[in-house]
Structure 1
């Protein structure tokens, strides 16, 4: 079966439990695939368990699970089949208790792996995989400020200094309501900390370096939203807001310092005495704080002096600085000459792979702070490369930060491609790349922030499309055409974008069109006109026929994509999701109207008036010329710009576009088409601009 989303109907494919083993009515639990490629179980539409990572991680699937991901024009979904080249029969069951179980037919029991497996009841099926395993794996099982302990019954208890929010629900072992403080915090130095040992803390806290345990406590006391901290001898970790997913005695070796009002020290139950700081210990730490502060201050002064001395030595030795601080960097005054020509070395199995980009490299820690530790509230959208976040610098300037996700089909090659390309390009209709970060497994690109989001946010939305009147759309069309012409003809490198689409056209505060996302772009040599690839990348509906079927791409491939985009802007409809009569796509519908002299029916009614009608019909003609089936029939972008700007010159009649009727789509599908390697179908437009 499929698990995921049907793009055409909006339907979600999920695996839902029964009410009970005897009642097959839809139960409370469902197993789903999210857009971020994580698996999850929900209970009554609330998150109950999540994989915490992409399904591509092999640890999620047993030896007999075969998870494969499909992202095409029909949907985005996960298929679960047979694994390890064995003809084994397996079944996946979402049971009424909230357990996701995978079973294997008993006939393969002689294998060593199966002999160690658990026989399920008296049936012929072996249980080989199950999630969630321990009770404490259930997401937020104990609610806010609750701690889960799988070795105790009941499994949930409130943290010291807290009481159940609903005593009745806790008696029924319904812990999701969580716990509340006995006494409100003082939000200052009067608050104290209780120590809970052997815990596991939630992911993605705020981590600070260069602090001792006293400095860590001081940092937590400065912020009233800080609920706890952890100090492991090297790093200080702050936990903000409501604490969830705290696991006690689950294998973790961490000491958790829980912030409570000072009066709570006298109320702690006997069960927590061994985990609570004594007043004597508190006095000792206060004395240590007073005596340590002058030493810390002296060491700080010495460290600053040593840092500037180190920088001076590097400058004299001709060494280059890396890992700049994004927060203090001022892009409005500093040019690309600052920290330019930095090189990054990536040592692969085949040897040394070096590349250079003429732009600043920033430290991951400063990027993390700028995005509030990649807070979901700062997330602008999601694309094939990964999520995009809004970052804010100390001077108030905003930037867009694109972070490679581990589940992405793209990687270092695409990032290197985009960084080395955009760093060498300068045009008002190309998005500006400000910097990047490559640190351990993190790969990040930093762009100028576009407050008006991307083009698809406007033209494909019933409400927002009215914002773009005829003049604004003409301005955007001409801007995109100029940007593509620059890439093909006027830049010092001839570049084929290969993924030109509405979601990759960003709009600044003056509605200037900016072409973005050069991860798929290719550079052509001086006399090179066409190239072939065995790895087709791009987005269905925008790719030219010769590229889809044969892997051939040229400047005419971008012309085809521009033609699709032009018709989409005029009609306010997507090419891939629009259906009319025998036409599978918007291009087919446009072609039919053209042949019937009804092309004006293609134009969005909000754009039609006596002054724009003739020019809009000319634009449709240009769009159909760009999407003709044969690349040789299509104009160049230089010709396109001339046709758009010169209203006097007569235009030739277009030939039939590619992929416009059911018959020629089915014909194309029978060819030995190369696999599409891109996961870039999802647009990056979401709640906010980037």
Structure 2
């Protein structure tokens, strides 16, 4: 893109610049743009822009000028003008910074866009096809275009991306010229020179590269998005597209509506991130990032090493040690003892490793057409021992795996990208890694005489260890007493918070003693352990964002559901306090009842009434179809949920916004009555407060209202939107997040298409057959569409919803086009969903 000459070699080039060398004469009577005249979006041939000047796009969206990136160096950059952070989206001279303030930008007589500083010139643009009447214009898209007199584009900055991918840019290649459009990270936070990471597209797949090494793949394009990026399907802002013909193959995107300000960047850490600007909060909101996790980056730990996602750390396999030239995580590990490929006692053996992903093999070629060779050659064989022997007899064989279907897989050379999963992870595998025989105990007794010199050393070690164990147990006892005291204070504060109506854990033991209100039930950890059979897997009901949920039985015979905060949970004391305070104060037949909590031994546990019929989603979308939800039961569930929300919004002491209403948070008792659960994300309002704003957008994809997802605004109308989605799911038996028609983005759009085509009865769950009441079904779908209208002011309140559902004489308005209803014709206000700040609780029955 750019060439530069320095010193004497540049004199010949300078002689070609009469517009510069004769500037005081030939350009004296022409407009000179130097930052002192009115801002413009265009630089004409023979004009100059000094270091203090600017080009500003016509809509004030972008500006071009000389700016610093954090050091004293100056670069010609395009940056966002309409956001407070002034983010840089393109850099012309990222490989040659300038110092001082003597630089100028101009278009020379040959039609090149150049930066001149003293005797150094830097050519920004390529060879122009025209050298007459050339001008450079900064567009509102952020694209700097060089045009000739006929307005044909000679060159554009969009063809030379840096680390930012804006709407309208291309990611791909020109099949004829071989030109590649790719993103390259900065070297560090202040140096924009080419860094270690590159994002490029090959065929129909996007790859994150480090040199020639593939670190991550998007998966192939499926017509709607990339296979390994499900967030693209749950998008309401961007119109993604992939174009391919004999000339070009590229990926691009545009905005459904011009209002959102967005940017996509490849950062110095190798992460790709998509942001949307929140004007109210004056900050960027992260929509999604890839790779999502450290271990998702291919070869993040190097060879013969396991990646632990929970700690974002690497650990060598048994029989291996870190390489001496290890740099960061990627250096890998090498064998402690080489393989012998011998026979008899020297024969190599296998070490079994459980709950891991299948690794890559270094001896298999990793290229664009086959970036994920997770398995080696697979052989159908019924005898695992025969295949084990085959691997032993091949010196290049590093590991093998065998599954119950009779298929084996083999890996050669170094093992890469091995991830260690938790023991209950459903997709974990068992592989066998080959080690030298001396890594194992061969069962032969060692000569006891060899141990005689070591006996005094062993005794000394045992005595020293005994002394330190005694001191440690004594300190542990003192620490335990202190922990008990701290825990008692925390329990007192929790009781005080619940019974006094306080919104924080403040209070004192004396104030608690002065209270006459009954204390909130507090369970001991020992009693909960007994009730759940020490939290056995047989008693586990499910797991969500908070942690696992277990079934238990108290000594009095009462069945309970125990919600235990996971140590690795993103939620904590704040969510526990929130849920405890709210549910303890709420009394309604359609809200789950909280029986108590436990805060002993560092645990955070909530105890609920047990719901024998699990959650609503297990009936609608799961395998629990034995007790099919007939139409009458669904009507009772719908009305119960509506009554529960009405109580939260209107009849409880404080107005409460649930913020995470969904099918998995509706529990069903023994008589199939619904109970709203999971109040960890709920918010309390005063009687005179109608809405609030938050910087932390939490909830679940598919149920979030557009004003909340986009701007962080939530109100009772946010819950109404979620109820409308839930109502459509109950009627149809389908999830909202799915494609049901060629032009429908989700179930909302699917229902809207039926409504416009007067085919709304076709939405009914096919399992109901003739059991449904069609007039009531039609009414319920109309109510649901009224609830999911884009503008919050157009949606009914829950009081009006209850009236619509229960009173056939209530007149219903005609619904407007709902939010997120069409992938090709979006509504006027697209939503911004945060993949980073979402708390997508998928908890199953309690």
TM-score norm. by structure 1 comes to 0.53
**1: CA distance between counterparts of 2:219 and 2:554?**
37
Q: Does residue 664 of structure 2 align to residue 503 of structure 1?
A: yes
Q: CA offset at residue 409 of structure 1?
A: 2.1
Partner of residue 843 from structure 2, selected from 671, 677, 684:
684
For the residue of structure 2 that corresponds to 1:401, the secondary structure is: strand
**2: CA distance between counterparts of 1:358 and 1:403?**
21
Spell out, residue by residue over 1:222-255, the C-alpha distance to the aligned partner (whole angstroms, 9 max, x if none): xxxxxxxxxxxxxxxxxxxxxxxxxxxxxxxxxx
For the residue of structure 2 that corresponds to 1:128, the secondary structure is: coil
Instruction: Say if 1:544 and 1:560, in contact at 8 Å, map to a contact too.
Output: yes
Aligned residue in 1 for 2:90: none
Q: Does residue 712 of structure 2 align to residue 551 of structure 1?
A: yes
Partner of residue 92 from structure 1, selected from 300, 304, 316:
300
Instruction: Say if 2:621 and 2:734, in contact at 8 Å, map to a contact too.
Output: yes
Q: Does residue 607 of structure 2 align to residue 457 of structure 1?
A: no
Spell out, residue by residue over 1:188-237, the C-alpha distance to the aligned partner (whole angstroms, 9 max, x if none): xxxxxxxxxxxxxxx99xxxxxxxxxxxxxxxxxxxxxxxxxxxxxxxxx
Q: Does residue 564 of structure 2 align to residue 403 of structure 1?
A: yes
**2: CA distance between counterparts of 1:680 and 1:94?**
32
Spell out, residue by residue over 1:444-491, the C-alpha distance to the aligned partner (whole angstroms, 9 max, x if none): 111111110100000113661871000000010000000000001111
Q: Can you give the 5+ residue segments of structure 2 that lack an aligned partner in the other structure?
A: 1-214, 230-267, 275-285, 309-321, 338-348, 356-384, 394-398, 403-421, 424-442, 450-487, 507-516
**2: CA distance between counterparts of 1:131 and 1:508?**
57
**Of the two structures, which has the highest relative contact order with CA contacts closer than 8 Å and spacing of 6 or more?**
1
Q: Does residue 634 of structure 2 align to residue 473 of structure 1?
A: yes
Aligned residue in 1 for 2:696: 535
Q: Structure 1 pair 410/650, CA: closer, same or farther in 2 (3 Å)? A: same
Instruction: Say if 1:357 and 1:419, in contact at 8 Å, map to a contact too.
Output: no
Aligned residue in 2 for 1:118: 324
Q: CA offset at residue 382 of structure 1?
A: 1.2
After superposition, where does 1:291-440 map in structure 2 within 5 Å? 359-440=520-601
Q: Structure 1 pair 81/408, CA: closer, same or farther in 2 (3 Å)? A: closer
Q: CA offset at residue 94 of structure 1?
A: 7.1
Aligned residue in 2 for 1:128: 331
Instruction: Say if 2:782 and 2:815, in contact at 8 Å, map to a contact too.
Output: yes
Q: Does residue 844 of structure 2 align to residue 638 of structure 1?
A: no
Aligned residue in 2 for 1:560: 721
Q: Structure 1 pair 664/125, CA: closer, same or farther in 2 (3 Å)? A: same
**1: CA distance between counterparts of 2:749 and 2:727?**
14
Instruction: Say if 2:272 and 2:289, in contact at 8 Å, map to a contact too.
Output: no
Spell out, residue by residue over 1:549-577, the C-alpha distance to the aligned partner (whole angstroms, 9 max, x if none): 01111101100000000010000000012
Instruction: Say if 1:535 and 1:674, in contact at 8 Å, map to a contact too.
Output: no
Q: CA offset at residue 649 of structure 1?
A: 2.4
**2: CA distance between counterparts of 1:477 and 1:131?**
61
**1: CA distance between counterparts of 2:658 and 2:780?**
22
Q: Structure 1 pair 645/672, CA: closer, same or farther in 2 (3 Å)? A: closer
For the residue of structure 2 that corresponds to 1:464, the secondary structure is: coil
Aligned residue in 2 for 1:224: none
Q: Structure 1 pair 127/557, CA: closer, same or farther in 2 (3 Å)? A: closer
Q: Structure 1 pair 675/321, CA: closer, same or farther in 2 (3 Å)? A: closer
Q: Structure 1 pair 360/651, CA: closer, same or farther in 2 (3 Å)? A: same
Partner of residue 655 from structure 1, selected from 812, 816, 821:
816
Instruction: Say if 1:481 and 1:637, in contact at 8 Å, map to a contact too.
Output: yes
For the residue of structure 2 that corresponds to 1:495, the secondary structure is: strand
Instruction: Say if 2:301 and 2:329, in contact at 8 Å, map to a contact too.
Output: no
For the residue of structure 1 that corresponds to 2:604, the secondary structure is: strand
**1: CA distance between counterparts of 2:570 and 2:335?**
27
Q: Structure 1 pair 435/126, CA: closer, same or farther in 2 (3 Å)? A: closer
**2: CA distance between counterparts of 1:546 and 1:431?**
28
**1: CA distance between counterparts of 2:335 and 2:526?**
33
Partner of residue 593 from structure 1, selected from 754, 757, 776:
754
**2: CA distance between counterparts of 1:321 and 1:91?**
45
Aligned residue in 2 for 1:606: 767
RMSD: 5.1
Q: Structure 1 pair 597/421, CA: closer, same or farther in 2 (3 Å)? A: same
Q: CA offset at residue 667 of structure 1?
A: 7.2
Q: Does residue 808 of structure 2 align to residue 617 of structure 1?
A: no
**2: CA distance between counterparts of 1:384 and 1:601?**
35
Q: CA offset at residue 176 of structure 1?
A: 12
Q: Structure 1 pair 487/175, CA: closer, same or farther in 2 (3 Å)? A: same
Q: Structure 1 pair 543/126, CA: closer, same or farther in 2 (3 Å)? A: closer
Q: Structure 1 pair 438/663, CA: closer, same or farther in 2 (3 Å)? A: farther
**1: CA distance between counterparts of 2:816 and 2:334?**
56
Q: Structure 1 pair 94/484, CA: closer, same or farther in 2 (3 Å)? A: same
Instruction: Say if 1:454 and 1:507, in contact at 8 Å, map to a contact too.
Output: yes
Q: Structure 1 pair 599/125, CA: closer, same or farther in 2 (3 Å)? A: closer
Q: CA offset at residue 140 of structure 1?
A: 6.7
Q: CA offset at residue 379 of structure 1?
A: 1.3
Instruction: Say if 2:302 and 2:330, in contact at 8 Å, map to a contact too.
Output: no
Q: CA offset at residue 391 of structure 1?
A: 1.7
**2: CA distance between counterparts of 1:626 and 1:608?**
26
**1: CA distance between counterparts of 2:217 and 2:523?**
39
**2: CA distance between counterparts of 1:478 and 1:131?**
64
Q: Structure 1 pair 65/129, CA: closer, same or farther in 2 (3 Å)? A: farther
**1: CA distance between counterparts of 2:691 and 2:711?**
12
Aligned residue in 2 for 1:190: none
Q: CA offset at residue 361 of structure 1?
A: 1.8
Spell out, residue by residue over 1:354-378, the C-alpha distance to the aligned partner (whole angstroms, 9 max, x if none): xx99521222233233222222222
Higher radius of gyration, 1 or 2: 2
Instruction: Say if 2:295 and 2:307, in contact at 8 Å, map to a contact too.
Output: no
Aligned residue in 2 for 1:285: none
Number of residue-to-residue matches in the alignment: 433
Spell out, residue by residue over 1:8-43, the C-alpha distance to the aligned partner (whole angstroms, 9 max, x if none): 99x9979xxxxxxxxxxxxxxxxxxxxxxxxxxxxx
Spell out, residue by residue over 1:57-112, the C-alpha distance to the aligned partner (whole angstroms, 9 max, x if none): xxxxxxx9989999x999997444999xxxxxx943775xx64489xxxxxxxxxx
Q: Structure 1 pair 82/489, CA: closer, same or farther in 2 (3 Å)? A: closer
**2: CA distance between counterparts of 1:341 and 1:137?**
59
Instruction: Say if 1:495 and 1:524, in contact at 8 Å, map to a contact too.
Output: yes
**1: CA distance between counterparts of 2:505 and 2:273?**
28
**2: CA distance between counterparts of 1:451 and 1:496?**
27
Instruction: Say if 2:701 and 2:840, in contact at 8 Å, map to a contact too.
Output: no
Q: Can you give the 5+ residue segments of structure 1 that lack an aligned partner in the other structure?
A: 15-63, 84-89, 103-115, 142-165, 178-202, 205-267, 275-318, 324-335, 348-355
TM-score norm. by structure 2 comes to 0.44
**1: CA distance between counterparts of 2:827 and 2:814?**
26
**1: CA distance between counterparts of 2:804 and 2:323?**
70
**1: CA distance between counterparts of 2:537 and 2:219?**
22
For the residue of structure 1 that corresponds to 2:300, the secondary structure is: strand
Q: Structure 1 pair 590/528, CA: closer, same or farther in 2 (3 Å)? A: same
Aligned residue in 2 for 1:521: 682
